Amino acid sequence: MKKEIKSTISCFRLLIEHTQKGYEPSPEHILKRMLIPLCAHFHKILESGTKNDAWEIVEGFSQECKRLRKHS
């Protein structure tokens, strides 16, 4: 798997993991440590990725969503 794809999915996972913690992280933390990097990954995919890359990312996100459903 390409680094940019793996990293985008991992970034999304990091965001999900923060919803499972025993405390509520600050909005600043979510923004700076997860959302801004996630947006930068999207930008890179749009700029230099392929449609297949985008599809792989959506599939990866979907796998993470399945895991999230198990917990909720």
Partner 1 sequence: MQLMEELDKKSKNGQRGKRYKIMKGKASKKTTRSAVVVEGLAELMNRLTLEEKCELVRIMNWSELDRLREEAESILHRTRLGDPKVYVERTDEGLNFEAPPEKVSKFLEELVRYLSPKKIEIYLMRDGGFEELSFPLKEFMNYLGVSQEIIANHYAMIDFDSYTLISGGGGCLSLTLLGVANEVVREIAEQFLGICGYPYKFSKDEFSAIVWTDKLEVKE
**Site of interaction with partner 1 (CB under 8 A):** 3-4, 6-7, 10-11, 13-14, 17, 20-26, 28-29, 32-34, 36-37, 40, 44, 67
The sign of the CA dihedral 45, 50, 51, 55 is negative
Give least dist CB 12 to partner 1, A: 10
- CA dist 50 → 5, 8, 45, 54 (Å): 11, 14, 7, 7
Residue 15's CB is within 10 A of a number of other CB atoms, namely: 16
**Shortest Cβ distance from residue 27 to partner 1 (Å)?**
9
Q: Which is nearer to partner 1, 17 or 59 (CB)?
A: 17
CB of 36 to partner 1, least distance (A): 8
